[in-house]
């Protein structure tokens, strides 16, 4: 079916609305209440367009394109209507921009600037309403800023299907409220702040944290569960300050869950492993032979003599801690000795990237002749109807495909603990449960017996993790891994979609990504040096593991690709 918009002829499917047809042609029609993921409300009137032979302007969001339709989105009549709508919306809108979290990404600001009248004739006192209303665990509402587009109401009815919100009262007293006795506490409530076109709904955890124009949005994926929702990491001053959903119709559409959205907050807890640890290194004896963090402070000019050096960005070393190079040396020495005495076993993690699993798998096979690999699973709750998966690991499917492709048979923690108890195992290298900073109650079930068995057998346990865990508490050597936001790599979601996870955050540890730790151990154990980055490691993986055959980072693009 053909229609013309602003003089351009377009062909669209029957049933396409004018706003979608314009979108297809790259013509932007300003709108507030329309959202592609919600039903049509048609209440804001911001999308008015002129259609030939129609006596009045029509709203583009609900008008279905017809054969031969001639539409103008930029005529003087449309311009006049846009002016009027914006003047109307701004009548009672407070002058909150200087303190509003939405400033910088506010549709009211943007449209007022782009399409608005640039003046107000309104001299009367504005209507005042409740501000900072605590609507739920994560959401605060400001009624003065609300333009009653009803997107949030429709989200709760149609997407989360929890229906907590309603527009109550009439006329200029109309406002958003939760039904009596209800709170906006559904597992997807954060999306209401994303789709609110103005600063009426804001996320408590991001309120007043940073002006949005200082955020660098890095495309990545959530590591909170096996879904792998596409996200934008809002990074400022070396830290993630918010995660927002990035549209991917094959994975998460426009949404993400609250738990995943706030998973980044766990990254800045006190349990981060910042330095390597080697049992037997104590006090100044350990740190004394190596440069301590505070000694690595800047060389001060003479005029500052007596001024204490700036603290190390990672934090001071504590007794028993050492630099990564010393940790790698100690680990390589222990593994070399164990290799000569018997078997060395490996524990993998469904929270590590594909690149990590591959590099560690290669090390296990080529230098230690491994034929088995222990792989824990981390589960909580149930899969829901929308996005949430009970598998709280972003890469179980990838780990299984790679370990299988390398010929490593997957075994349980109990099986490995049994073999350790039998005396056949002389050392264990284990990826810990907290590589992405996310804990689940079941991780102790897997790691405690294993660590206890290793301790009882008196064999070295080399733990690689980013945060403290039941494993690192009992390990003889702990190597700090870089974590979410600090590393590049890929995860394979439960549907086999391989997607890139991206860096952008300053490392919070003297650590390395797991694949680099594996390379460094291999080099110290006699393999030729291989200092490849994540991209090259992925190419090697794709060349060796048939399921990933032909894939490259370029082919994954922003939306990922499904493995065979
Ligand atoms: S709170 Fe935001 S999303 Fe909800 S009706 Fe008001 S402006 Fe629209
Ligand atoms: S559903 Fe899973 S992947 Fe998506 S945001 Fe939530 S935790 Fe993250
Ligand atoms: S976007 Fe069409 S009426 Fe609101």
Distance 33 CA to ligand 2 centre (A): 26
Ligand 1 centroid vs 151 CA: distance in angstroms? 6
Distance (angstroms) between ligand 3 centre and the Cα of 493 equals: 36
* Ligand 3 atom with minimal separation from the 59 CA: 2
What local confidence, expressed as pLDDT, does residue 309 receive?
Answer: 66
Closest ligand to 190 CA? 2
- Name the E strands within 65-196: 70-72, 133-134, 139-141, 165-168, 175-178
pLDDT of residue 280: 81
Q: Identify which of 370, 383, 384, 378 has the alpha carbon closest to the alpha carbon of residue 396.
A: 378
- List the Cα angle 328/331/336 in 5-degree steps: 120
Report the separation in Å between the CA atom of 46 and the middle of ligand 3, taken as the mean of its atom positions: 5
CA nearest to 501, candidates 158, 240, 296, 157: 240
Contact status, residue 515 vs residue 485, Cβ threshold 8 Å: no
Query: Given the CA of residue 493, which atom of ligand 2 is nearest to it?
Result: 3
Of ligand 3's listed atoms, the one at least distance from the Cα of 31 is 1
SS3 218: strand
Nearest to 223 by CA among 501, 503, 431, 548: 501
Identify the pLDDT of residue 282. 52
Q: In terms of Cα–Cα distance, which of 89, 143, 137 is closest to 111?
A: 89
Q: Which residues lie below 8 Å from residue 369, measured CB to CB, with a gap of 6+?
A: none
The residue nearest atom 3 of ligand 1, judged by CA position, is 196
What is the reported pLDDT for 298? 43
For residues 78 and 86, the answer to whether their CB atoms sit within 8 Å is: no
CA proximity to 109, closest of 141, 72, 138, 145: 145
The stretches of 412-498 forming alpha helices (DSSP H) are: 413-421, 443-457
Q: Which ligand is nearest to the CA of 497?
A: 2
Question: Of the bound ligands, which one is closest to the alpha carbon of residue 151?
Answer: 1
How many whole angstroms separate alpha carbon 122 and alpha carbon 564?
62
191 CA from centroid of ligand 1 (Å) = 12
Q: How far is the centre of ligand 1, averaged over its atoms, from the C-alpha of 517 (Å)? A: 48
CA-derived radius of gyration, the chain:
28
Whether 225 lines ligand 2, by a CB cut-off of 6 Å, is yes
Number of Cβ within a 10 Å radius of residue 61: 26
Residue 37 CA to residue 35 CA, distance in Å, equals 5
d(CA 256, CA 401): 26
482 ligand 1 Cβ < 6 A: no
Instruction: Taking each helix axis as running N to C, give the angle between helix 354-368 and helix 534-544, from 0 to 180 degrees, rounded to the nearest 10.
Output: 70
Contact 101, 89 (CB under 8 A): no
Tell which atom from ligand 3 comes closest to the C-alpha of 45: 3
> Using a 6 Å cutoff on CB, does residue 149 contact ligand 1?
yes
Q: Which tokens in the block code for residue 500?
A: 């890139």
Beta-strand pair 70-72/2-5: parallel
Query: How many Å lie between the centroid of ligand 3 and the Cα of residue 45?
Result: 5
Q: What are the mean pLDDT values of the chain's consecutive 10-residue runs (564 residues total)?
A: 96 97 96 98 98 97 97 97 95 94 97 88 91 98 98 98 97 94 98 98 97 97 98 96 98 98 94 94 44 41 60 82 95 96 96 98 97 96 98 98 98 94 95 91 89 94 96 96 97 98 95 97 91 93 97 97 92
CA distance 2 to 364: 61
């Amino acid at each position: 079916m053909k229609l013309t918009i602003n003089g351009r002829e377009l062909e669209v499917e029957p049933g396409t609305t004018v706003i979608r047809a314009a979108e297809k042609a790259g013509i932007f029609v300003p709108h507030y209440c329309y959202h592609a993921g919600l039903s049509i409300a048609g209440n804001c009137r911001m999308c008015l367009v002129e259609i030939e032979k129609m006596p009045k302007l029509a709203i583009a969001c609900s008008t279905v394109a017809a054969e031969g339709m001639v539409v103008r989105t930029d005529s003087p009549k449309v311009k006049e209507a846009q002016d009027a709508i914006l003047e109307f919306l701004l009548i009672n809108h407070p002058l909150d921009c200087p303190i509003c979290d939405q400033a910088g990404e506010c549709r009211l600001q943007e449209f007022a600037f782009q399409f608005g009248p640039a003046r107000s004739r309104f001299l009367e006192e504005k209507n005042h309403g409740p501000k900072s209303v605590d609507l739920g665990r994560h959401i605060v509402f400001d009624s003065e800023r609300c333009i009653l587009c009803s997107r949030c109401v429709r989200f709760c009815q149609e997407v989360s299907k929890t229906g907590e919100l309603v527009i109550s009262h009439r006329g200029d007293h109309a406002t958003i409220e939760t039904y009596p006795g209800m709170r906006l506490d559904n597992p997807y409530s954060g999306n209401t702040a994303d789709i609110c076109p103005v600063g009426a709904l804001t996320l408590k955890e991001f309120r007043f944290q940073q002006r949005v124009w200082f955020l660098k949005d890095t495309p990545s994926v959530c590591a909170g569960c096996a879904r792998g929702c596409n996200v934008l990491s809002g990074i400022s001053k070396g830290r993630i300050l918010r995660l927002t959903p990035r549209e991917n119709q094959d994975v998460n559409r426009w949404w993400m869950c609250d738990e995943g959205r706030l998973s980044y907050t766990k990254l800045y807890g006190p349990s981060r492993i910042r330095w390597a640890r080697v049992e037997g290194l104590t006090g100044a004896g350990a740190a004394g032979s190596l440069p301590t963090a505070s000694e690595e402070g800047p060389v001060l000019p003479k005029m500052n003599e007596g001024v204490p050096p700036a603290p190390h960005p990672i934090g001071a070393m504590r007794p028993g801690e050492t630099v990564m190079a010393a940790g790698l040396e100690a680990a390589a020495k222990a593994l070399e000795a164990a290799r000569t005495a018997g078997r060395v076993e490996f524990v993998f993690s469904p929270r590590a990237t594909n690149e990590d699993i591959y590099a560690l798998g290669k090390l296990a096979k080529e230098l230690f002749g491994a034929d088995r690999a222990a792989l824990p699973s981390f589960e909580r709750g149930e899969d829901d109807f929308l996005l949430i998966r009970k598998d709280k690991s972003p890469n179980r499917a990838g780990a299984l495909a790679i370990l299988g492709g390398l010929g490593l048979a997957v075994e349980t923690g109990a099986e490995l603990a049994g073999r350790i108890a039998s005396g056949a195992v002389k050392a264990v290298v284990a990826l810990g449960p907290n590589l992405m900073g996310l804990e689940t109650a079941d991780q102790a079930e897997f790691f405690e017996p294993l660590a206890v068995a290793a301790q009882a057998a008196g064999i070295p346990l080399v733990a690689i993790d980013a945060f403290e865990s039941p494993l690192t508490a009992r390990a003889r050597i702990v190597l700090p891994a870089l974590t979410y936001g600090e590393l590049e790599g890929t995860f394979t979601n439960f549907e086999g979609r391989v997607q890139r996870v991206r860096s952008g955050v300053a490392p919070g540890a003297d650590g390395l990504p797991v694949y680099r730790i594996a390379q460094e151990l291999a080099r110290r154990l006699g393999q030729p040096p291989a200092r490849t980055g994540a991209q090259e490691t992925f190419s090697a993986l794709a060349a060796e593991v048939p399921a990933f055959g032909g894939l490259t980072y370029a082919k994954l693009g922003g939306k990922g690709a499904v493995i065979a």
